[in-house]
């Protein structure tokens, strides 16, 4: 993870960290293993007011109409949330990206290398239904409005899931979304080529309608300024027998956090909306749920959450939270109340 800023940004970040560490010891919270002392915690904890005050002059580039197109099912993102939480984050990421470019340029000059510029890669992780896709889409829009990073691409790890037929052959279709259900080698190769400055890199495409990889479909990424990689397990360490994980190639990582009970409720509400909407399409993999009553749909959603999504969260996703560069803590109404930034 890159923690190198330009001189001005580095000085400002250090001053902020020192001040906030003194003012805000990290309290305990559900899902945590206890509250470390402020000297032991790898993060500085900022409440919403202090976080939003860090970039008061950052311009608001989005309109309400644009924001509507970025929201996911159940998300209640508004312009105030953008201004107070995500504009400061976009400013911080802009500083990190500028610092990474400066370091890369200096290293190339030192080596006498005239190779291609390396894109800045951001990982966004978190549970199903926590809102990470909305956040990744929003960051893409905000970061692309900065003059020095106009080309920002977003790729989800859904495209790197193994095909449904292969998951069935391996007997792990019921563990779709768990680390073993991904083609991790192909994902690692994709991000490695991006970081190497390849002119053009291709990624598979996943359909939420068919619940499967679309044969022959590809996303083409052409040397962006910033690439955002979003997925459940992007912060996973190397697997057994592996020396490198995709998380090792990220310059900055964001973990979207919330209480497990809140995420379970959000998942249920999302399932109900899908059941009344996308599931009604006869082509949908989940069309069999379209005729359920509301009570039956709620029971089904809770069963899927309890059998698949909650175990994946507790066993695989949540344990990677401490590896993030920054943690966004969301409350029951989806608003971010606290930001934890890894100390510099």
**DSSP-assigned states of every residue in 205-246:** EEETTTTEEEEEEEEEE---SEEEEEETTTT----TT-S--G
Side by side, which strands form the sheet with 43-47? 43-47, 336-342, 326-330, 252-257, 120-126, 226-231, 152-156
7-342: CATH topology: Rossmann fold (3.40.50)
Query: What residue segments make up the domains of the chain, in order of their start?
Result: 7-342
Helix or strand (DSSP H, E) at 43: strand 43-47
Walk along the chain (344 residues) and give the pLDDT tens digit of each residue.
443 344 444 444 434 433 443 444 443 444 443 445 556 788 999 999 999 998 877 776 788 888 888 887 667 889 999 999 999 999 999 999 999 999 988 988 899 887 778 999 999 999 999 999 999 999 999 999 999 999 999 999 999 999 999 999 999 999 999 999 999 999 999 999 999 999 999 999 999 999 999 999 999 999 999 999 999 999 999 988 888 999 999 999 999 999 999 999 999 999 999 999 999 999 999 999 999 999 999 999 999 999 999 999 999 999 999 999 999 999 999 999 999 999 86
Residue 133 counted as an annotated binding residue: yes
Please identify which residue in the block is written with the tokens 């960051």.
139
- 152 has binding-site annotation: no
131 appears as a binding residue in the annotation: yes
Distance CA 105, CA 318 (A): 36
337 labelled as ligand-binding? no
Is 128 one of the annotated binding-site residues?
A: yes
Query: Is 132 annotated as ligand-binding?
Result: yes
As a whole number of angstroms, the distance between CA 218 and CA 204 comes to: 5
């Amino acid at each position: 993870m890159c923690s190198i800023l330009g001189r001005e940004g580095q000085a400002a970040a250090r001053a902020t960290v020192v001040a906030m560490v003194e003012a805000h010891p990290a309290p305990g919270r559900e899902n945590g293993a206890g509250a470390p002392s402020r000297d032991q915690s790898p993060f500085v904890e900022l409440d919403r007011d202090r976080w939003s005050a860090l970039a008061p002059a950052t311009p608001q580039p989005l309109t309400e109409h644009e924001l509507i197109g970025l929201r996911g099912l159940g998300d209640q993102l508004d312009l105030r949330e953008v201004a107070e939480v995500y504009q400061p984050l976009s400013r911080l990421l802009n500083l990190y990206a500028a610092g990474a470019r400066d370091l890369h340029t200096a290293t190339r000059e030192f080596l006498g290398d005239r190779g291609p510029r390396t894109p800045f890669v951001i990982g966004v992780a978190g549970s199903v239904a926590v809102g990470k896709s909305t956040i990744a889409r929003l960051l893409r829009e905000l970061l692309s409005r900065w003059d020095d990073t106009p080309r920002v691409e977003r790729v989800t790890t859904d495209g790197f899931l193994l095909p449904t037929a292969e998951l069935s052959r391996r007997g792990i279709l019921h563990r779709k979304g768990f680390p073993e259900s991904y083609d991790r080698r192909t994902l690692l190769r994709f991000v490695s080529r991006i970081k190497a400055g390849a002119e053009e890199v291709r990624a598979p495409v996943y359909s939420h309608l068919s619940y499967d990889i679309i044969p022959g479909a590809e996303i083409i990424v052409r040397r962006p300024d910033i690439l955002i990689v979003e997925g459940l397990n992007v912060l996973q360490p190397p697997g057994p027998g592996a020396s490198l994980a995709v998380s090792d190639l990220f310059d900055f990582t964001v973990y979207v956090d919330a209480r497990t009970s809140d995420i379970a409720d959000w998942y249920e509400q999302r399932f109900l909306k899908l059941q009344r909407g996308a599931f009604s399409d006869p082509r949908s993999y989940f069309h069999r749920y379209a005729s359920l009553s509301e009570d039956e749909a709620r029971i089904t959603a809770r069963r899927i959450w309890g059998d698949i999504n909650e175990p994946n969260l507790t066993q695989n996703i949540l344990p990677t939270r401490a590896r993030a560069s920054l943690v966004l803590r969301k409350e029951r109404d989806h608003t971010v109340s606290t930001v934890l930034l890894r100390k510099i």
